């Protein structure tokens, strides 16, 4: 396996490759997959190529492909046998009114992935009827239960991220990461305070 640069996920002690693999299109042939024509064999080859290059950090979500992305990743992991680092996400959809739904969704993701613990479990977006404090408390329960190694957020602005970080601190759990749109063309995190807050709070920014 080729040696590549690594990064720390905040203060969690978890080390990941500097380049992760987003697998939102795996198993999705609808809107997000743009009518994708790749086959399962294509995905298997891509998965093996990633691991051959040392890219073992895979980011998925319960919403991707209606759960198909998680199921495919779980099957590939079992078939290949090499260790991987898995990140997934809870979707706080409008019909989810209680933070208890996070724990139910987490169990479903664990089953689709075929694992006992997810390395990084994230809240997919901040805009929800479920309060930030309640969501962070539910994530803390998941960590205490051994079902999640580290917790993060996604699409959070600086203020939401600070609130999440402060609530988790009450449980002595660090906020590992914030996954946002950030690229050579999209520079908003440099201007809206997100990058500065990540640096201040020791939160990894996942682009």
Distance in angstroms (rounded) separating the CA atoms of residues 49 and 46: 5
Contact between 194 and 157 (Cβ < 8 Å):
yes
Distance in angstroms (rounded) separating the CA atoms of residues 151 and 138: 11
Contact between 141 and 103 (Cβ < 8 Å):
yes
Burial label for 198, CB within 10 Å (0-12, 13-18, 19+), is buried
Output the DSSP codes for 8-52: E-TTS--EEESS-EE-TTTT--STTTTS----HHHHHHHHHHHHH
47 is known as an active-site residue: no
CA 42 vs CA 10, 34, 48, 81: distances in Å: 33, 16, 10, 18
Q: Which of 47, 64, 121, 156 is catalytic?
A: 64
So which residues are the catalytic ones? 64
């Amino acid at each position: 396996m080729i040696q590549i640069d690594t990064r720390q996920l905040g203060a969690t002690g978890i080390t990941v490759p500097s380049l992760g693999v987003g697998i939102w299109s795996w198993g999705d042939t609808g809107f997000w997959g743009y009518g994708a024509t790749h086959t399962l064999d294509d995905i298997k080859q891509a998965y093996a190529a990633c691991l051959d290059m040392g890219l073992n950090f895979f980011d998925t979500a319960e919403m991707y492909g209606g759960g198909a992305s998680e199921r495919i990743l779980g099957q590939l992991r079992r078939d290949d046998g090499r260790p991987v680092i898995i990140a997934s996400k809870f979707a706080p959809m409008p019909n989810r009114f209680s933070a208890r739904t996070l724990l139910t969704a987490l169990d479903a993701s664990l089953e689709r992935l075929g694992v006992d613990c997810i390395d990084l479990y994230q809240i997919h977006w901040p805009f929800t009827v479920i309060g930030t404090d309640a969501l962070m408390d539910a994530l803390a329960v998941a960590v205490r239960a051994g079902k999640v190694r580290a917790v993060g957020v996604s699409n959070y602005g600086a203020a939401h991220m600070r609130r999440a970080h402060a609530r988790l601190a009450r449980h002595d759990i660090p906020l590992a990461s914030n996954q946002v749109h950030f690229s050579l063309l999209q520079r908003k995190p440099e201007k809206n305070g997100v990058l500065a807050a990540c640096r201040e709070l020791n939160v990894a920014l996942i682009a």
